[in-house]
Amino acid sequence: MNQPRHRPLSVGPIRAFEAVARHLSFSAAAEELHLTQSAVSRQIKGLEDELGAPLFNRGTRSVELTGDGQVLLRAVAPSLDRLDTAVRQIRTSRGRRRVTVNTFASFVSLWLLPRLEAFQRANPDIDIRVSATDMVVDLDDPEIDIVLRYGGDHLVPAGTPRLFGETLTPAISPWLAEQIARGQAPPLSTPADLAGHTLAEEDDNRPTAEFLSWRRWLTLHGQAGLQPRRWMYLNFTYQQVQTALAGQAIALARMALVADSLERGDLVEPFGPAGRIDAPHAYWMVVSPQSIARPEVQRFRDWLIEQGERTNATLTAQSASSVQRLAQAVPELVSPAPPRSRSR
């Protein structure tokens, strides 16, 4: 008669069992674990001997869990997940502290990176890993601590902090503004004057792109049928801003992302506050539930909220002073344009 077995099971065979059960393949499990197939088979055989019960029905071309195998898998799978999470946390706490933040590429280039140096200077003991992608990542991804998202509130959990909303404005370079003032470029006193210029348009088929488009702006300003001198279609917001900075086109800029450029005078709003339109989306900060307790994540979260408040304050101040600054820099853009003779 078999004696009851009380010896604890080794983790190695348990991990091999979980991999085979998940793949229903000894060869796939061996590849994942970087072992030979025969080594995995020996571990499973040793585990079955320890338990006194078969865990798999092995066919010529298939592998199936037995009833006992299914019972063991239900206990093993969550236990290994908890073990792996604990190991990651221990490794993180024993090494340098790191926070991984995910967001879309233009937000990284235009908003996050210009501010990040200040955080790192104040927190030299925290490393920041930036994961930039335009794909929506899973909020339960264990490798991501903070996600900065753009869209409606239905895309984020209830109670998610809102960093700031979305306002769009035409933006040009000071060089182009000077060319216009000297009469060396087509006028730009009214929305209809956009017909003489190149417009940088977002080349994007996502639903949010509709609210960021020149077509929406032109329609709201009574120019639904206007055709510019030419269109320049670009995939990313930061590319549109770059074309405006270079004087190659007029960008419909997302004010929250170019607030600093407007403040420094690197970009100019040709129509001032009258050219601004709102979009129904916002920028949000989502903190992973498994990361929220870590002090470095809390510190970075608080810093992001502070930076969002500063951006909101900058936008409010720009609303009050935009026309005054523009009138001082380029009076022709805010005063009625004199009649110009045009060739027919």
**Is residue 6 helix, strand or coil?**
coil
Q: Is residue 3 part of a domain?
A: no
145 pLDDT band, cuts 50/70/90, is: very high
**The two three-digit tokens of residue 251, written as one number:** 């960008």
Order of strands across the sheet with 198-202? 126-132, 97-103, 146-151, 277-287, 162-171, 250-254, 198-202, 230-234
Give pLDDT, residue 343: 30
d(C-alpha 297, C-alpha 283), whole Å: 19
Mark whether 172 and 273 lie in a shared domain. Answer: yes
pLDDT, tens only, 147-199: 999 988 888 888 899 999 999 999 999 999 999 999 999 999 999 999 999 99
**Domain membership flag for residue 306:** no
Q: Which has the higher per-residue pLDDT, 327 or 75? A: 75
Number of domains in the chain: 2
CATH code at position 199: 3.40.190.10
Least-confidence region, from 159-173, 195-209, 260-274, 295-309? 195-209
Residues 80 and 173 occupy one common structural domain? no
In 80-214, beta strands by DSSP E: 97-103, 126-132, 146-151, 162-171, 198-202
| Tens-place pLDDT, residues 13-24 | 899 999 999 999
Q: Please check whether residue 201 lies inside any domain of the structure.
A: yes
Q: Is pLDDT at 328 greater than 60 in this prediction? A: no
Give every CB contact of residue 107 below 8 A, 6+ residues apart in sequence: 148, 150, 257, 283
In this structure, is residue 265 part of a structural domain?
yes
CATH code of the domain in which 46 resides: 1.10.10.10
Whether 37 is covered by a domain: the verdict is yes
Residues 275-281: what's their mean pLDDT? 93
Q: Which of 94, 117, 145 represents a domain boundary (last residue)?
A: 94
Last residue of a domain, one of 65, 94, 123: 94
- What DSSP designation does 339 have? P
Average pLDDT, the chain: 86
C-alpha of 247 from chain center: 28
Q: Of 54, 69, 94, which residue is a domain's last?
A: 94
Range of the domain at 276: 167-280+326-333
Residue 273 lies in a domain: yes
Higher pLDDT among residues 11 and 193, named by residue: 193
234 in any annotated domain: yes
DSSP annotation of 21:
H
Domain membership flag for residue 155: no
